[in-house]
């Protein structure tokens, strides 16, 4: 029950923050907010994976931050919808958005993971 409550609370916070950022960062028809939250969420999940999710510990905290907050903060459905709308319009915006979302998200997750493991190693060496 503790895990479920953590996922619900984290999801509510992540979804709220995504909505606020997404609504405030439109440039004409370009959904910059969705791109920003998906890349930022990928970076955060990379950090969480390296520092929390792969280690034993509080499962409710892992569930609340990972599946809850990051799951609510990032959005595949909005990415898909925005991609379809951009594809019907200007091809260059479609390509920039799609490549930025996919490769930017993957790169951000990797950088977040490497960053957290680097910090973890430094803390262990001190």
Residue ranges for the known binding site for Na(+) are 71, 74
Cβ atoms of residues 57 and 121 within 8 Å: no
Distance (Å, rounded) from C-alpha 3 to C-alpha 90? Answer: 44
Cβ atoms of residues 112 and 54 within 8 Å: no
Binding residues: 71, 74
Beta bridge partners of 31: 26
């Amino acid at each position: 029950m503790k895990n479920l409550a953590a996922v619900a609370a984290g999801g509510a916070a992540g979804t709220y923050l995504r909505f606020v950022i997404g609504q405030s960062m439109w440039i004409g028809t370009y959904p910059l907010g969705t791109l920003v939250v998906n890349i930022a969420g990928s970076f955060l999940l990379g950090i969480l994976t390296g520092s929390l999710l792969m280690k034993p510990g509080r499962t409710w905290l892992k569930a609340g931050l990972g599946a809850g907050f990051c799951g609510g903060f990032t959005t595949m459905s909005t990415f898909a919808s925005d991609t379809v709308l951009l594809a019907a319009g200007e091809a260059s915006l479609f390509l920039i958005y799609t490549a930025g979302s996919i490769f930017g998200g993957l790169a951000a997750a990797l950088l977040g993971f490497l960053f957290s493991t680097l910090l973890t190693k430094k803390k262990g060496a001190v």
